[in-house]
Amino acid sequence: MRNFTVHSPARVCLYGDHQDYLSLPVIAGAIDRYMVFEVKESPNDVFEIELADLGNKLKINIDPSNQYPQTQKIDFFRSGLRVASRFGYPPKHGLKVTIQSDIPINAGVSSSSALVVGWLYTLALAFGDGSAPKPDLLGQMAFEAEVLEHQSPGGQMDQYTIAHGGLVFIETGRQIRVHPLNVPKLNLILLDSKIKKQTLTTIGSVREQTTLAIDEIRRLKPDFSLPEARIKNIKSELDQINAELRPYAEAAVQNHEITLAALESLKSDPPDLSLLGKLMSAHHQQLSDVLKVSHPQIDQWLKLALDQGALGAKIVGSGHGGCSVLLTSETQEGQLSQGLIDAGVPAAYPVKISRGCHHKWMPPLVILAAGASSRMKKSLEALNAPNSAMQSNQDSNNQERPQVDTHKGLIALDNQGHTVIDLLIDQAIEAGITRIILVIQPSGDEFKKHFEGKNYPTSLSNNGPVQEQNKLSIHFAYQKIPHDRKKPLGTADALQQCMEQFPELHNQEFIVCNADNLYTSGAFRALIQSKIENALIGYDRSGLEFPTEKIRSFALLNCDHQSFMTDLVEKPDQKATQKIMDQTQQLNVSMNLWKFKGSDLWNALLNCPVHPERQEKELPTAVRQMIAQSQVKVLVIPRKEHVPDLTQASDIQTVRHFLSQKFSQEKSL
């Protein structure tokens, strides 16, 4: 089984809250907040599940009978295993699953459904034929695991919305139908009150009262149909039922009418955003004033949002707390979000309608190792010179002196002969990466020789995929040197030649790094789990342990308010540094650890200009072009830790000392 990640989104209900369990339609959408499942095969017949954000771990042994009895009142993992087995996905082996999320918990945006849908998707992908489950099947499995298996009062909206993604109109009931709505971009803000709610209690109470009200109407009018009912046609019956139940029946019918009116507007080209906002606010009024499922503080914040220009606002989910959603304009969303935070809202941020639950095979890692290493070779010549101070220091530590022609990625860093490349690959494996492409010079036989006999479960190949599963596959791409040059043409050229030799990279995400930096598994994992296709790690300068002058020479990342890269400022002076500090409130540098979507980067690589001074095509230059010319966004993921670096011979002993300190600390834990 190939390692993979599953991305399961949150959802917002725009129209139809407290309607789906009445078999009435809803309009809902998946949004770009995700729960991410990092999945690896386990050699044991055990599911090892880590809920990283909560600090919880659990183990579930494979049950040959597929019964998986509940160990607590709510147990989505075991109910998911029961349902998956029923639908033809019985476990064949164990899995190691790490789950992380940026979805607000117990806040009305379906974090529990995101968990169940993502878990069922994981089981179907791992134990099926390797293809993604169909959205309707996934939605039904998740509904059974979350609602039916727990005898809960919820409906079908959450599971089907998350499974399908996008903005959808869902006809709920026994014959559920999901209709995608192809509408222009909607500018939404999610407002998180941080007020906890009681989902099952609220849904159960409203559902019970509404059902009693509808039953009373049916006793008066046996042919009554809730989907066909309109307020103007049932006034007589409403007047005759219990006064305490009447508001529940009225809200059910009026909210249904609001949903249908919103559907008609969304079908228009273009939709009337002002009308959609008014309908959204009218829906909230029913939820707040009639069903009493809002909260005074939330009502106050939503009124403030409307006063500040929001087109519409409503609470989402079961109610009594959690999140609300605002409909606004693109020019207003940033200012409105900040205004709400300034007014005391705990969290408010723009969200977009996004794709449904999906998976990504673990991206390959491309290691750029074809550079000439000029500074290292010159300093090694000095190191090996007779009577040099560097040589004496090296000998006193009983370390073998590296040869001048040794690639810096292959310099031994301990008495066992481990190199930066070895340690780098160890970290990649720990992050779940199973495929590595080393870009080397055509004369790079030392790399092939280095990997022969290594302890990795390695399969060596010059090109093409390695079919054997559960093994690290190492491939080689070759950066040819132009006839009129003595050295390679730079990192952008190296990656271009790699993509030409491995054309599958054009259609997938992949990670790129240098061969002379030791990145951590955590940094690799941050890129893997990022929902943004193009990203890089921005290292906090205060976490780097280099000499001050060296740190100051690193290129600084400039970002917008959403942490997307706007520029990479090389050799920044004090004025430029202070300007970036004022704009971003932190100083992050690039250590050349990137993630790209091949199709986004390709044209920028082809058209990358040669640097006027260094006479090389450099990857950061190509990235700038990709951002400026193709309007591609590159997310900067902040991280504070040291990144050992081998640039010249004096770095060798520094890195050796750093690693010995690090390993001794880990050993003492």
Residue 180 in 3-state DSSP?
strand
pLDDT in tens, 236-258: 999 999 999 999 999 999 999 99
With a cut of 90, say whether residue 372 has pLDDT above it.
no
With a cut of 90, say whether residue 37 has pLDDT above it.
yes
Residue 451: per-residue pLDDT:
80
Residue 461: per-residue pLDDT:
44
Q: Which amino acid is at 97?
A: V
Q: Which amino acid is at 256?
A: H
Residue 498 in 3-state DSSP?
helix
* 137, 141, 143, 145 alpha-carbon torsion, rounded to 10°: -170
CB 416 within 8 A of CB 389: no
Mean pLDDT along residues 14-31: 93
DSSP state of 626: H
Predicted confidence band of residue 415 (pLDDT cuts 50, 70, 90): confident
For CA atoms 38, 8, 191, 557, give the dihedral sign.
Answer: positive
pLDDT in tens, 475-486: 999 999 999 888
Mean pLDDT along residues 189-206: 83
CB 175 within 8 A of CB 192: no
Residue 164: per-residue pLDDT:
98
pLDDT in tens, 316-353: 988 889 999 999 998 888 899 999 999 999 999 999 99
pLDDT in tens, 438-466: 999 988 788 888 887 666 544 444 444 33
Question: Which run of H or of E encompasses 476?
Answer: strand 472-478
pLDDT in tens, 156-171: 899 999 999 999 999 9
Q: Which residues contact 398 (CB under 8 A, 6 or more apart)?
A: 415
Q: Which amino acid is at 159?
A: Q
**Percent of the chain beyond pLDDT 70?**
90
Spatial separation of the C-alpha atoms in residues 325 and 192, rounded to whole Å: 9
With a cut of 80, say whether residue 303 has pLDDT above it.
yes
**Percent of the chain beyond pLDDT 90?**
65
Range of 20-29, 80-89, 529-538 with top mean pLDDT: 80-89
Mean pLDDT along residues 206-227: 92
Q: What is the distance between the terminal CA atoms of the chain, rounded to a whole angstrom? A: 33
With a cut of 80, say whether residue 668 has pLDDT above it.
no
Q: 648 or 107, which is more confident?
A: 107
Burial of 405 (0-12, 13-18, 19+ CB in 10 A): exposed
With a cut of 70, say whether residue 395 has pLDDT above it.
no
Q: C-alpha distances in angstroms, 441 versus 88, 454, 477, 491?
A: 49, 21, 8, 12
Residue 321: per-residue pLDDT:
92
CA neighbor of 530 nearest in space, from 644, 431, 603, 438: 431
Average the pLDDT over each of 370-374, 387-391, 539-543, 580-584 and give the range with the smallest value: 387-391
Residue 658 in 3-state DSSP?
helix
Question: Which run of H or of E encompasses 7?
Answer: strand 4-15
Residue 36 in 3-state DSSP?
strand
Mean pLDDT along residues 182-206: 84
pLDDT in tens, 524-554: 999 998 989 999 999 999 999 888 888 888 8
Residue 141: per-residue pLDDT:
98
Residue 455: per-residue pLDDT:
60
Residue 646: per-residue pLDDT:
81
Helices in 41-169 by DSSP H: which ranges?
A: 76-86, 111-127, 135-143, 157-164
CB 27 within 8 A of CB 262: yes
pLDDT in tens, 127-154: 999 899 999 999 999 999 999 999 987 7
Token digits of residue 361: 């095979």
Task: Please give the full DSSP string across 409-437, using - where no structure is assigned.
Answer: GG---STT---HHHHHHHHHHHTT--EEE
Task: Please give the full DSSP string across 505-565, using - where no structure is assigned.
Answer: GGGSEEEEEESSB---HHHHHHHHH-SSSSEEEEEEGGG--S-HHHHHHSPEEEE-TTSBE
Residue 213: per-residue pLDDT:
93
With a cut of 70, say whether residue 666 has pLDDT above it.
no
Spatial separation of the C-alpha atoms in residues 506 and 508, rounded to whole Å: 6
Average the pLDDT over each of 32-41, 413-422, 549-558 and give the range with the smallest value: 413-422
Mean pLDDT along residues 489-501: 96
Token digits of residue 646: 């081998």
Residue 117: per-residue pLDDT:
98
Predicted confidence band of residue 29 (pLDDT cuts 50, 70, 90): very high
Predicted confidence band of residue 382 (pLDDT cuts 50, 70, 90): low
Residue 667: per-residue pLDDT:
45
